């Protein structure tokens, strides 16, 4: 399953089922934490933290900016999801040491933080630094997958890391089987899928061909289950919203850097969940950027 950077004594494990471990983020299960807004989730991706980045350079400063905002909030979000490419290039141990240091204030503030891995990450290097977080019995071998529960939706965190430094991603047959079982076992709430790589559908198919090589088998599973409402990814270092077969495809901004500052910018996204959908708000590291504070209300398919 993905790593959960919360104090071990604060973890709220509801139950272990055949579909994997379910992690609860509902305020009613977190009495020791400060006040929690159970319907608010922070979405980050592509942090690209490197071992030797100066502390005042843009990339670590961007992550530090959002961490500071989170710690300074009077009310915590239900959780923070950081969706892959945590490390700068090829996932060196020093990268994860720097990354863990930057996230330490979230840990100290008891803000639940869940991580997935992308194509610039390295599983073994990651676990060599966060060795206590290596799952003893993962639902799918060598994959980091879980279900994160909030009051109004379940987030299914997938592992699309096919191989470090290989741009394309893959879910793989075993993980697809697990996902189908997990979705069927948790069908009473909207399901939101979270993976680093973009699907190669739901818009211009050439939008970013470095996405999932098994997009169609994945979508066959998702589209057949009406409680699946959205797929959330990063990887492209841009922002966009598409829809495919009724499922929203949310490409959220990178926290680290962008390829073309004239057309995109860095930042993070907040998702406020309701029974009918979600309100997405873009927050940019440049407070004067035109995207800063923009909201988009998405309605769930029936």
Q: In what order do the strands lie in the sheet with 154-157?
A: 13-17, 20-24, 146-149, 154-157, 191-194, 228-233, 247-251, 240-244
Q: CA triplet 224, 213, 217: central angle to 5 degrees?
A: 20
Q: At what angle do helices 173-185 and 215-223 cross, to 10 degrees?
A: 10
pLDDT band at 14 (very low <50, low <70, confident <90, very high): very low
Percentage of the chain exceeding pLDDT 90: 79
Domain assignment of residue 237, yes or no: yes
Minimal CA–CA distance to 73: which of 113, 103, 24, 35?
35
Give the SS3 label for residue 293.
coil
Give the SS3 label for residue 118.
coil
pLDDT of residue 132: 67
pLDDT band at 12 (very low <50, low <70, confident <90, very high): very low
**24 vs 68, 175, 192, CA distance in Å?**
24, 21, 15
Domain assignment of residue 2, yes or no: no
Q: What is the pLDDT of residues 26-51, one digit of tens each?
A: 444 445 667 999 999 999 999 999 99
Mean pLDDT (the chain, rounded): 88
Rounded to two decimals, the pTM is: 0.91
| Residue 94 domain boundaries | 8-299
Q: What is the pLDDT of residues 256-286, one digit of tens each?
A: 999 899 999 999 999 999 999 999 999 999 9
pLDDT of residue 198: 95
Give the SS3 label for residue 279.
strand
Domain assignment of residue 60, yes or no: yes
* Residue with the larger pLDDT of the pair 94 and 1: 94
Residue 11 has pLDDT above 50, yes or no: no
Residue 10 has pLDDT above 50, yes or no: no
Q: Residue 231 is part of a domain; what is its CATH number?
A: 3.60.21.10
Domain assignment of residue 1, yes or no: no
Residue 147 has pLDDT above 60, yes or no: yes
Q: With left for phi above 0 and alpha for psi between -120 and 50, is residue 202 left, alpha or beta?
A: left
Question: How many CB atoms sit inside 10 A of residue 289's CB?
Answer: 17
Residue 122 has pLDDT above 90, yes or no: yes
Minimal CA–CA distance to 85: which of 44, 133, 128, 138?
44
pLDDT of residue 20: 43
Domain assignment of residue 67, yes or no: yes
Q: What is the mean pLDDT of residues 112-137?
A: 89
Domain assignment of residue 187, yes or no: yes
Domain assignment of residue 3, yes or no: no
How many domains are contained in the chain?
Answer: 1
* Residue with the larger pLDDT of the pair 187 and 131: 187
Give 64-67's long-range contacts (Cβ < 8 A, gap of 24+): 64/102, 65/285, 66/42, 66/255, 66/268, 66/283, 67/102, 67/103, 67/105, 67/106
pLDDT of residue 186: 97
pLDDT of residue 16: 27
pLDDT band at 204 (very low <50, low <70, confident <90, very high): low
Q: What is the mean pLDDT of residues 89-110?
A: 96
Q: What is the pLDDT of residues 152-193, one digit of tens each?
A: 999 999 999 999 999 999 999 999 999 999 999 999 999 999
Q: What is the mean pLDDT of residues 247-261?
A: 96
């Amino acid at each position: 399953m993905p790593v959960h950077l919360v104090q071990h004594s604060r973890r709220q494990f509801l139950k272990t089922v055949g579909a994997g471990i379910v992690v609860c983020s509902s305020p009613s299960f977190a009495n020791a934490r400060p006040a929690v807004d159970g319907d608010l989730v922070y979405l980050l991706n592509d942090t690209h933290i490197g071992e030797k980045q100066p502390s005042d350079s843009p990339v670590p400063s961007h992550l530090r900016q959002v961490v500071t905002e989170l710690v300074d909030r009077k009310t915590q979000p239900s959780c923070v999801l950081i969706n892959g490419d945590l490390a700068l290039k090829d996932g060196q141990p020093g990268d994860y040491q720097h990354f863990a240091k930057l996230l330490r204030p979230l840990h100290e503030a008891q803000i639940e933080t869940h991580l997935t891995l992308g194509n610039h990450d390295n599983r073994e290097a990651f676990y060599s630094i966060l060795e206590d977080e290596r799952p003893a019995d993962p639902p799918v071998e060598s994959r980091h997958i879980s279900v994160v529960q909030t009051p109004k939706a379940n987030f299914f965190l997938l592992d699309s890391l096919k191989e470090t430094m290989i741009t394309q991603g893959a879910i793989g047959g075993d993980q697809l089987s697990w996902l189908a079982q997990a979705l069927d076992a948790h069908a009473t709430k909207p399901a939101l899928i979270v993976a680093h790589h973009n699907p190669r559908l739901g818009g211009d198919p050439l939008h970013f061909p470095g996405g999932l090589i098994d997009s169609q088998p994945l979508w066959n599973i998702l589209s057949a289950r009406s409680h699946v409402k959205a797929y959330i990814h990063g990887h492209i270092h841009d922002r966009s919203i598409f829809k495919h077969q009724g499922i929203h495809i949310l490409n959220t901004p990178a926290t680290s850097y962008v390829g073309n500052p004239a057309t995109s910018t860095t930042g993070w996204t907040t998702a406020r969940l309701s029974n009918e959908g979600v309100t997405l708000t873009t927050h940019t590291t440049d407070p004067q950027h035109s995207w800063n504070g923009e909201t988009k209300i998405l309605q769930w398919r029936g």
